[in-house]
Structure 1
Amino acid sequence: MQTHISTTPFGRRALTLGQIASQATAKAMPKEAAANKWQVFQHIREARELLGATDRSLAILNALLSFHRETELSAEGELIVWPSNEQLMARANGISPATLRRHLAVLVECGLIIRRDSPNGKRFARRSRAGEVEQAYGFDLSPIVARAEEVRYLAETVQVEKKAFRVAKERLTLLRRDIVKMIDTGIEEGVPGNWGRVLQTYQGIILKLPRTAPRQLIEGICEELFELHGEIRDVLESFTKTQNTNANESHSERHIQNSNPESIFESEQDYREKDEASGSAAETDNVRSLPKRDLPLSIVLDACPNLLEIVQSGEIRHWRDFLSAAELGRTMLGISPSAWQDAQGVMGEVQAAIALAAIYQRSGQINSAGGYLRSLTDKAREGKFSTWPMIMALLRAKLDDNKGRQSQAEGNAGGAPRLEVSESLVKSLQKLKPLP
Structure 2
Amino acid sequence: MESGYVTTPFGRRPMSLGMLASQQLAETIEPGMKRSKWKLFRAICEARPALGVTDRALTVLDALLTFYPDDEISEEKGLIVFPSNAQLSLRARGMTSATLRRHLAVLVEAGLILRKDSPNGKRYARRDRAGAIGEAFGFSVAPLLARAVEIESLAAQAVADRELLRVTRERLTLCRRDISKLIAAALEEGVSGDWEDISVMFRALLARIPRVATAEDLAPLLDEMRLLRAEVVNMLERRLKTKKIDANESQIEHHKQNSNPDSTYELEPSFETKQGEKAAADNDPNAGPSDERRLKQQKPSGGMSNRAEGAADPGAGPGLKSFPLGLVLQACPSILDYGPGGSIGNWRDLMSAAVVVRSMLGVSPSAYEEACSGMGPENAATVIACILERGGHINSPGGYLRDLTRRTERGEFAIGPMLMALVRANGLTARHAS
The two structures share one fold, judged by TM-score above 0.5: yes
Distance 2:247 2:18 in 1: 77
Distance 2:11 2:3 in 1: 21
Q: Kindly report the root-mean-square deviation, in angstroms, between the aligned alpha carbons of the 2 structures.
A: 2.1
Q: Does 1:147 align with 2:144?
A: no
Q: Would you say the 8 A contact 1:5–1:116 is kept in 2? A: no
**Structure 1 stretches of 5 or more lacking a match?**
252-436
Distance 1:205 1:27 in 2: 53
1:76 alignment partner, SS class: helix
C-alpha distance 190-98 of structure 1, shift in aligned 2 (>3 A): same
Distance 1:164 1:114 in 2: 35
1:50 maps to amino acid: A
Q: Does 1:194 align with 2:194?
A: yes
C-alpha distance 178-3 of structure 1, shift in aligned 2 (>3 A): closer
1:28 alignment partner, SS class: coil
Distance 1:132 1:213 in 2: 53
1:108 maps to amino acid: V
Q: Would you say the 8 A contact 1:37–1:72 is kept in 2? A: yes
Distance 1:155 1:4 in 2: 31
Residue in 1 that maps onto 2:45: 45
The offset of 1:76, in angstroms, is 2.4
Residue in 1 that maps onto 2:131: 131
Q: Does 1:158 align with 2:151?
A: no
Alignment of 1:313-352 (within 5 A): none
Residues 257-312 of structure 1: CA distance to partner in whole angstroms, max 9, x if unpaired? xxxxxxxxxxxxxxxxxxxxxxxxxxxxxxxxxxxxxxxxxxxxxxxxxxxxxxxx
Deviation >2 Å, runs of 4+: 2-6, 248-251
TM-score, normalization: structure 1? Answer: 0.55
Q: Does 1:236 align with 2:248?
A: no
Higher mean C-alpha displacement, 62-71 vs 194-203: 194-203
1:247 alignment partner, SS class: helix
Alignment of 1:35-434 (within 5 A): 35-248=35-248
**Structure 2 stretches of 5 or more lacking a match?**
252-434
The offset of 1:31, in angstroms, is 2.3
Residue in 1 that maps onto 2:20: 20
The offset of 1:18, in angstroms, is 1.5
Distance 2:218 2:16 in 1: 39
Number of aligned residue pairs: 251
Distance 1:3 1:177 in 2: 62
TM-score, normalization: structure 2? Answer: 0.56
Q: Would you say the 8 A contact 1:6–1:118 is kept in 2? A: no
Distance 1:6 1:210 in 2: 48
Distance 1:197 1:238 in 2: 18
Residues 384-428 of structure 1: CA distance to partner in whole angstroms, max 9, x if unpaired? xxxxxxxxxxxxxxxxxxxxxxxxxxxxxxxxxxxxxxxxxxxxx
Residues 81-120 of structure 1: CA distance to partner in whole angstroms, max 9, x if unpaired? 1000000000000011111011000110111110000111
2:99 maps to amino acid: T
Residues 334-386 of structure 1: CA distance to partner in whole angstroms, max 9, x if unpaired? xxxxxxxxxxxxxxxxxxxxxxxxxxxxxxxxxxxxxxxxxxxxxxxxxxxxx
Distance 1:98 1:27 in 2: 30
Distance 1:4 1:225 in 2: 58
Give the percent of matched residue pairs that are identical in Structure 1 and Structure 2: 47
